[in-house]
A and B are shown apart, each in its own frame.
Chain A
Amino acid sequence: MNAAEGPLLRLEHADKRFGAIRALENVHIELFAGEVHGLVGENGAGKSTLVKILAGVLRPDAGRLLLDGEEAIFDNAKQSQTAGIAIIFQEPTLFPDLSVAENIFVGGQPLKRGRRIDVRRMRRDAVGLFQQLGVRLDPDRLARGLSIADQQLVEIAKALSAHARVIVMDEPTAALTASEVERLFGIVETLRARGAAVLFISHRLEEIFGLCQRVTVMRDGRHVLTQPIEELTSQAIIRAMVGREMAALFPKVASEPGPIVLKVDRLTREGVFTDVSFDVRGGEIVALAGLVGAGRSEVARAIFGIDRWDAGSVEISGRKLPKASPTAAIAAGIGLVPEDRRQQGLVMDFSIERNIALASLGRVQRFGLIPHGAERSFARDWAVRLQLKYGRLSNPVWTLSGGNQQKVVLAKWLARRPALLIVDEPTRGIDVGTKAEVHRLLSELAAHGVAVLMISSELPEVLGMADRIVVLFEGRVSRTFARADIDEDAIMRAATGLVEEAAA
């Protein structure tokens, strides 16, 4: 580290708002040549926003970006690249129909006489770049079908070819296997040794400790701390990540757990999740916690029948569900409020009333037709119960705010009086006030005997809402907590794979 020469990149007093949400507030970060800088924080802490600002995709509302001490303003991604910043995203965006070599040099191919592309040199340079990285990858093959890890390699080679001095890796290991992670570490080390400044974002603390020289922790869009790695322990980092006061956002209604509604037994989908067992009783909220990529949503998708499972079984109130049949899952009384409500939860161009009635058309129909009046009164009933704020029920559902859209999705399933409701990130992108309402709704549902399976990346939400917590790590259940012995630090450790043998 050559701190004496001053930072290669410096972001100071950065602010960014999205409507009412403050994504970044007075954030600063400094990256030095020859240093790997770790960036950690929970989902929603503002890491992605920070990356997008460095990438030139977003412009901060306030604050300055300094490169080599000089102010830089990026209007687009190209300018950021030209300035020597390269971003390696968790899931790279390559051109599947072009060769690996072309993907590296796209837009800047080496030319020969007559402005023609020098294909031979391009190929040779690609081979050279892969040699520098110490990997073997055929430069002539198409990018289609490359594994995520190899796609990242192509992006890293691209960064090398552009002589990038600042390399930002946004959760590069989230989708990699252990051996691929090891290879990536070797490459990051090489980049660092060559004098690049690397910003390494990861949820896995052992990676931060294995790779980084300094660490910055962010929380709620703010900078919490930046310290050399030697001065930190994983406990200290976890505390800094989750250290907010538990907001009074979670009106937990006490309820008496009833009989087992959902029983998941040794459920396995190869390469996705393994040997997952848990149950949910009526009147109970069970949270599936864990990192992105730990397999939470995938388990939910399998239960609901979207994805096929390879082994194990799912029972609803004692009856086994067939594999891969959402129709059977719905008939058995499961409702799914998906993570991506715009794509999967709602038909955005349909009216509010049609969306609410969508899963209950069997009840609304008369002789195979849907009488408009019946649909409307059915929808109005549920809109009132959920205190939906709307202009007219005939307005398209996209006119509603995010929180009210979520209520429409909830109404759609509640109208079927489900035995089990699966909610995936129920409050993502919802303002604070409506969040509390969604929480109240879920809590009341449980109080009325519905079994609720909740997936959430927001630890406070999990802590505030759940009766029990099942923590997944890399597709396996790493620990289960009852409400009585819920402990933030222990959950974080279980989610990052740091399970104490004694506790497990």
Chain B
Amino acid sequence: MTTTVERARVPYDGERTGSHQLAELLFRFRELGIVLALVLVVGATTIDNQRFVSGTSLQQLLAGAAIIALLAIGETIVIVTRNVDLSIGSVLGISAYAAGSVFVHYPHASTFVVLLIGLLVGAACGAVNGAIVTILRVPSLVVTLGTLYVIRGIDAAWAGGNQIASFSLPNSFNKIGYGTIAGVPYLGLIAIGAVAVATYAMRSFRTGRDFYAIGSNPEAARLAGIPVGRRVFTAFVLSGAIAGFAGVLWLSYFGSVDAIAGVGYEFQVIAAVVVGGVAIFGGSGTVLGAALGALLLNTISSALVVVNVSSNWNQALAGALLVGAIAFDRLIALRVAPALRTRRSSRE
């Protein structure tokens, strides 16, 4: 029997076996692929119609994707923990209506306070989701499907047939929706800032890494002493708070709100998240990827308009892209698996 003490101590020297390098690169840096697809879509559309890359058009693309991208941040956090939040569209709706109501009753309310109110309304909804999922241990798919309808119902009962129109909103508030700084829309800036912060936080804080650990192997997470329940609860509160915040921005973007604001957003968002490379069963994927996924889907739907394809095809294409993204993931995973198996530690 040899002892390791006598054995040469060679640190890992970073060598890689070449054959599966590309597949592994795509696997680990999924964002590159989305950017590539984005460039492809924009390029192809521009050949057809030069105005697609005009300043205002790009502004619209960015602003239009901003709200879905924001929602995708929260959804990513939840999905990474091997859960799902279907209630975000309803949360966005009720928060938007709440923000509108505040302006109806207090026309001079500060935008900051209204944003905070939206955030808190959303966080409260998220806390309800999180509590039912973690304390009562009901699958999140069922819980948030339920709260999707409950919150929408409360919203409808509250709004009745009312619509809060843009004349009830202060000008300074409306400006968030259409204003720009140096040509970049406020909404885009907010989304970019939020994505940057969230991407960094998910990578650099223990709580963020815990989300990934929980989604990757819940049982091992428990054994490693991670407070699984508390983390999952946090994920839902964050998702709710972001949806609430996005609701206020949604109001400023569209300028009016009724009881159907944000209906169906959950599926757009989940599509964006999955297209962006977040594994639907948790454990992997980044906020940046999800946000890029939102941008890609929004760009494709705009591109279809520009090249005069009926908007009816929009949904079909988004769906096909969703299925394509998942199939692509499986394919890449299958390609990478043997590479990962053969790259064992060497025994020299």
Contact = CB atoms under 8 A, between A and B. Distances in A.
A189 B4 contact: yes
A97 B345 contact: no
Contact of A145 (B212, B213, B340): B340
Contacts of B28: 142
B346 interface: yes
B330 to A, nearest CB: 14
Given A97-B279, A138-B14, A145-B341, A190 B4 contact: yes
A117 interface: yes
Given A97-B284, A117-B205, A182 B213 contact: no
Interface residues of A, number: 48
Given A145-B337, A153-B345, A97 B223 contact: no
Contacts of A210: 1
Contacts of B304: none
Contacts of A179: 347
B1 A189 contact: yes
A78 interface: yes
Interface string A117-132: 1010000000100110
Nearest to A78: B225
| Chain B CB within 10 A, most for which of A116, A134, A210 | A134
Contacts of B339: 145
Interface stretch (B136-144, B147-155, B214-222): B214-222
A109 interface: yes
A153 B284 CA distance: 23
Interface string A61-91: 0000000000000001110010000000000
Nearest to B15: A138
A94 B220 CA distance: 7
A150 B283 contact: no
B224 A146 contact: no
B49 to A, nearest CB: 41
A134 B209 contact: no
A107 B204 contact: no
B108 interface: no
A193 interface: yes
Contacts of B10: 136
Contacts of A186: 1-4, 7
B7 A116 contact: no
Contacts of A448: none
A187 interface: yes
B335 to A, nearest CB: 12
A38 interface: no
A77 B347 contact: no
A90 B211 CA distance: 26
A189 B12 contact: no
A111 B209 CA distance: 13
B210 interface: yes
A136 to B, nearest CB: 5
Nearest to B346: A136
B343 interface: yes
Given A98-B213, A134-B9, A147 B344 contact: yes
A106 interface: yes
Given A95-B217, A186-B1, A107 B337 contact: no
Nearest to A211: B1
Contact of A106 (B9, B12, B226, B345): B226
A93 interface: yes
Given A94-B217, A183-B347, A186-B1, A106 B223 contact: no
Contacts of A142: 28, 340
Contacts of A102: 209, 213
B11 interface: yes
A112 to B, nearest CB: 9
A454 B226 CA distance: 43
B146 to A, nearest CB: 23
User: Which of A97, A189, A193 is most buried by chain B, counting CB atoms within 10 A of its CB?
Assistant: A97
A115 B1 contact: no
Contacts of A145: 336-337, 339-341, 343
A96 interface: yes
Given A141-B343, A146-B344, A134 B4 contact: yes
A278 interface: no
Nearest to B200: A116
A142 to B, nearest CB: 7
B5 interface: yes
Given A95-B216, A127-B11, A147-B344, A115 B284 contact: no
Interface centre among B226, B279, B340 (most CB of A within 10 A): B340
B13 to A, nearest CB: 8
A133 B4 contact: yes
B213 A95 contact: yes
Interface of B: 1-5, 7, 9-14, 28, 203-206, 209-210, 212-213, 215-217, 219-226, 279, 283-284, 336-337, 339-341, 343-348
Given A189-B1, A190-B4, 15 more contacts: A93-B217, A95-B212, A95-B283, A97-B216, A98-B209, A107-B224, A117-B203, A127-B11, A130-B345, A136-B13, A137-B12, A141-B343, A145-B339, A186-B1, A186-B2
30 contacts: A77-B222, A77-B225, A93-B217, A93-B220, A95-B212, A95-B213, A95-B216, A95-B283, A97-B212, A97-B279, A97-B283, A109-B209, A116-B204, A116-B205, A117-B205, A127-B12, A130-B11, A130-B345, A134-B5, A135-B4, A135-B347, A136-B12, A138-B12, A145-B336, A146-B344, A147-B341, A153-B345, A186-B1, A186-B3, A190-B4
Interface of A: 76-78, 81, 93-98, 102, 106-107, 109, 111, 115-117, 119, 127, 130-131, 133-139, 141-142, 144-147, 149-150, 153, 179, 182-183, 185-187, 189-190, 193, 210
